Amino acid sequence: MARTAGSTAEVTRRRILEAANTLFAERGYAGTSMRDIAEHLGMTSAALYYHFPAKEELLSALVAPVMETLDRFVEQAENEENEESGGSDQETLIRRFITVLEDSGRTLQVIATEPTALRILVDRHDLGRRLARLEHLIAGTDDPTMLLRCRCALGAIRMGVMSGHASRQLSGAAGAAASPRLADAERELLVAIALAVLNTPMPTRVS
C-alpha cells in the first residue's frame, strides 16, 4: 500500500527528531546547527525548515513527550494523595521519578546540561511549575527547609541518572544508546541518597 502524504511527512518528522536528539546529545544543543541536522540526514536545509521552522521548535517537539510523562506521574501522585490512603510514600515517588528520567533517555542530557535548552523549557513548557508540583508532593509540606531538601534530592537523582547513562555510552557498554536504564545497584544507591537528603536530621548549632 502506498504511503499517504501525511504518513510520509510523519516518518520524515520522526527521522528529524531522532537525528536532532542524537546530535544534541553528542554536540550539545548550542553546538548543533540546523545545517548539521540536515547534513546528518542527507536532506536540504529547506526541507528541514519545512518541518521545523527553528531549532527551538525541534527541542520543544523532543521534550513534549517527557513533559507529558512528568505530568501524568505528578497527576497520578496527586490523585493518590487525595484518596483515603493518603498517597504514596517518599520512596515510592522517588522510584517512580527515577523511571520517568530513565524513560527520557538522551533528551535528559540536553535538558540538564544546556542552559539555553533549559531556558526554552522554562519559557515554553513551564518547567518550573511542573518541578514545583513534584517537590511539594515528595516533601509533603510547604516548609521551606523541606522543599529545599527535596530540590537537592531531585537534583541528585537527575544528575545520577544522567551521569550513569553518559558513562555507559562512553564505555561503549552494549545497548547503552538504546537503554538508559540504571543498574539495580545504581538505582538503589540513588534512592538511598535521595532519602538521606530528605530525612537526615539538621546538625545542632553550637553557640
Query: Do 62 and 36 share a structural domain?
Result: no
Judged against a pLDDT cut of 90, whether residue 124 lies above it is answered with: no
Query: Do 186 and 124 share a structural domain?
Result: yes
Query: Do 82 and 178 share a structural domain?
Result: yes
Q: How many residues does the chain have?
A: 207
Query: Do 80 and 173 share a structural domain?
Result: yes
Helices (H), the chain: 5-27, 34-41, 45-51, 55-82, 90-104, 106-113, 115-125, 127-139, 144-171, 184-199
Judged against a pLDDT cut of 90, whether residue 28 lies above it is answered with: no
Rounded-to-integer distance, Cα 176 and Cα 193, Å:
24
Higher pLDDT, 84 or 102: 102
How far CA 25 is from CA of 93, 167, 175, in Å, comes to 27, 13, 16
Rounded-to-integer distance, Cα 187 and Cα 165, Å:
12
Percent of the chain with pLDDT over 90: 45
**Is 204 a member of any domain?**
no
Average pLDDT for 179-196: 88
What pLDDT does residue 206 have?
A: 59
Query: Do 45 and 72 share a structural domain?
Result: no
**Is 76 a member of any domain?**
yes
Residues near 203 by beta carbon (within 8 Å), at least 6 away in sequence: none
**Is 159 a member of any domain?**
yes
**Is 183 a member of any domain?**
yes
Range of the domain at 107: 56-199
CATH number at residue 5: 1.10.10.60
Query: Do 22 and 66 share a structural domain?
Result: no
Rounded-to-integer distance, Cα 94 and Cα 4, Å:
44
**Is 180 a member of any domain?**
yes
| pLDDT tens, position by position, 143-181 | 999 999 999 999 999 888 887 665 555 555 544 454 567
**Is 206 a member of any domain?**
no
Mean pLDDT score across all residues of the chain: 84
**Is 131 a member of any domain?**
yes
What pLDDT does residue 4 have?
A: 63
Higher pLDDT, 101 or 176: 101
How deeply is 140 buried, as exposed, middle or buried, from its count of CB atoms within 10 A (0-12, 13-18, 19+)?
middle
What pLDDT does residue 180 have?
A: 61
Query: Do 68 and 47 share a structural domain?
Result: no
CATH number at residue 162: 1.10.357
Query: Do 146 and 97 share a structural domain?
Result: yes
What pLDDT does residue 1 have?
A: 45
Of 4-13, 58-67, 95-104, least confident by mean pLDDT is 4-13
Query: Do 93 and 174 share a structural domain?
Result: yes
Domain count, the chain: 2
Query: Do 23 and 76 share a structural domain?
Result: no
What pLDDT does residue 77 have?
A: 87
What pLDDT does residue 93 have?
A: 93
